[in-house]
Amino acid sequence: MSTFIAITVSALALGAVYFLVASGLSLIYGLMDVLNFAHGVFLTLGAYAGWAVASRLVAPANPVMAFALSACAAVGCGAAMAAVTELLLIRPLYGRPVSQMLVTIGLDLAMVGLLFGIFGSNSRSIPVPPWLTSVTRIGPERIPNGDFLALGSGAVVLAALAWFLRSTRYGIIIRAGAENRQMVSALGINVGSAFTVVFTIGGAAAGLAGLLNSVVFNGALIDPSQGDQLLIFAFIVVVIGGLGSLAGSAIAAVLVALVQVYVSFYAGSGAGLAQLGNGSVVLFLAVVLLLRPRGLLGRTA
Amino acid sequence: MTAALPGADAGFAVELADLRADISGSHILQGVDLRVPAGQVTALLGRNGVGKTTTLRALLGLLPANGGIRVLGHDVAGWPTHKIVRLGVGYVPEDRDVFARLTVRENLRLAETTATPRYDLIYDLFPELRERSRQLAGTLSGGQQQMLAIGRVLLPDRPLLVIDEPTKGLSPLLVSEVVDVLQRVSSACTVLMVEQNVHVVRKLASQIVVLDRGRVVHTGHAAELGEEDLVRRLLGVSGSA
């Protein structure tokens, strides 16, 4: 029983990371109809920015402060990269969805190649505070502290995004734009600026996800291809949740992570363990799409 | 290509010169020349499919068009829609296009493009909008959605209203209510509207412009709609129906 609770918490933490990546993808698609295959780059660059700040720019005397600064760097780098991508590459191609998709694929390939060129294929290790590598006892349970960090971060970002979309004028513009972009323009609102905001928010969440994924699930290691690996699961989460639905992404992220972790853990042990878990996620996607083609909370076309 | 607008006049809120637009390869507008006098209500009339809605959408930059477009003294051909609207244009589309998954209050909040939104005026004209402010716009009746669509454009003080079929699909009681509201607001601004209901046009408009096959075929006074022969010839309907 204690194992079940521990792996459930671990799955929820993984779901929080999936949500951080998927939330941006979902918002971007919902407002702009752009399938952003470069989202993984925002994630990877965020992780490298966090590593650079924590390991090189900040004295290790205060590891908590160093990690906090590295998280800020990850968020800032993801956001800046996303904003630049929208302004320079996506904006000139509005109304040409295939071109937009191709340019994001090209950017992803180019940036991953560039990162391999700069850092090589060896993983880099992010210095983390000792607390993050230890566990907390809750009764008989031993829960890794990293899981709490991921869970807390996912919950805070979900609450912040929900508040932003519900309560701010920009949030209302984004929700309205997902329904009818032309009518938003016909009210005198420059939808283009909302596009940049959405991209930036998505990039910030992805940058944070990149750092958390490395720290919590990858032994504090980062490598240039980690963004692409997570992006596949994020796309699955977005499709299961329903394209454009933030709440759908949150629910789907948790479900996908639970399926993946439970199958990986209970289906046995061996070299194919991870692949079995991954395969179960694809099967879950197929079942959801067969029963509910628009996803859990997606809109009808 | 932008057509010249000779003699552009401050006395006109809208001037279209040789306006042409295609939709899916069909030549919908084939050279529309139109002037909307400032401070008056102009009704754009014509049979179904002659280009009335397309004219309004082209004027607002909602679809690509060639020709001269002058709005409130500015040559706006090629401008993005939001920039044209910010000159002081309010647009009520044919299908209302309220945001169904936003509340009434959020729909109105989107239209707050000036520092002093006129909520008092809106709630005075349409008290129901205040009562239903937390209701999702998609759950409103057609008449309530039309109130919201009109209220949304009246929130900022705008010198020009472009309204597409404001009484379409409404019950006679609601038609009367909408006409009363438009009569009240049109005293303070210019209105260009598409309307199929001849009686509504006679109540509201001072000028009529009739389109046929993508061109203006008649411009005159709204009182002409009392002439049965003219109405039958130009619109294919009876003015007394």
**pLDDT tens-digit readout, B9-51:** 558 999 999 999 999 888 999 999 999 999 999 999 998 889 9
What mean pLDDT is reported for chain B?
Answer: 89
At B240 the pLDDT is 52
Determine how many CB atoms are found less than 10 A away from the CB of residue A36. 30
Taking a C-beta distance cutoff of 8 angstroms, is the pair B229, B73 a contact?
no
Which CATH number characterizes residue B48's domain? Answer: 3.40.50.300
Q: In what order do the strands lie in the sheet with B207-212?
A: B89-92, B160-164, B190-194, B41-45, B207-212, B215-221
Of B106, B135, B157, the position where a domain reaches its end is B157
The interface predicted TM-score (ipTM) is 0.89
When mean pLDDT is compared across A51-65, A240-254, B120-134, the lowest value belongs to A51-65
Dmax over CA atoms of chain B, in Å, equals 50
What residues of chain B have any CB closer than 8 angstroms to a CB in chain A? 60, 62, 80-82, 85-86, 91, 93, 97, 99-102, 106-107, 109-113, 152
Give the angle A95-A100-A106 at the CA atoms, nearest 5°: 165
Average pLDDT value for residue range A2-23: 92
Confidence of residue B7 (pLDDT cuts 50, 70, 90): very low
At B225 the pLDDT is 81
At A231 the pLDDT is 94
What does DSSP say about strands B207-212 and B41-45: parallel, antiparallel, or unpaired? Answer: parallel
Polymer length in residues for chain A: 301
At A229 the pLDDT is 87
At A130 the pLDDT is 86
Mark whether B84 and B165 lie in a shared domain: yes
At B10 the pLDDT is 53
Mark whether B134 and B146 lie in a shared domain: yes
Of the candidates A109, A130, A113, the one whose C-alpha atom is nearest the C-alpha of residue A121 is: A113
> CA nearest A191 in B: which residue?
B82
Mark whether B131 and B235 lie in a shared domain: no
Evaluated on CA atoms A103, A108, A113, A114, the torsion sign reads positive
Mark whether B139 and B177 lie in a shared domain: no
Question: pLDDT tens digits, residue range A98-136?
Answer: 999 999 999 999 999 999 999 988 888 888 888 888 999
Average pLDDT value for residue range B166-179: 90
Average pLDDT value for residue range B82-105: 95
CB contact under 8 A, A180 and B99: yes
* Phi then psi dihedrals of residue A143, to 5 deg: -105, 125
The Cα–Cα gap between A206 and A47 comes to: 9
Q: Which residues 146-175 on chain A approach chain B with CB closer than 8 angstroms?
A: 169, 172-173, 175
- Number of domains present in the structure of chain B: 2
Mark whether B131 and B173 lie in a shared domain: no
CB contact under 8 A, A187 and B80: no
Per-residue tokens: A265: 């853990």
Q: How many helices (H) and strands (E) does chain A have?
A: 11, 4
At A220 the pLDDT is 81
Mark whether B63 and B181 lie in a shared domain: yes
| A&B contacts, CB < 8 Å | 59
Confidence of residue A64 (pLDDT cuts 50, 70, 90): confident
The Cα–Cα gap between B21 and B14 comes to: 17
Average pLDDT value for residue range B49-64: 95
What does DSSP say about strands B160-164 and B74-75: parallel, antiparallel, or unpaired? Answer: unpaired
E strands present in chain B: 12-23, 26-37, 41-45, 66-71, 74-75, 89-92, 160-164, 190-194, 207-212, 215-221
Domain residue extents for chain A: 16-225
Distances (CA, A) of A78 to A13, A18, A44: 21, 16, 8
Mark whether B40 and B67 lie in a shared domain: yes
Of B157, B186, B208, the position where a domain reaches its end is B157
Across the interface, which of B93, B97, B101 has its CB nearest the CB of A175?
Answer: B101
Mark whether B136 and B236 lie in a shared domain: no
Across the interface, which of B60, B80, B97 has its CB nearest the CB of A180?
Answer: B97
At B38 the pLDDT is 94
Confidence of residue B215 (pLDDT cuts 50, 70, 90): very high
Mark whether B168 and B134 lie in a shared domain: no
Structural domain contains residue B11: no
Determine how many CB atoms are found less than 10 A away from the CB of residue B128. 18
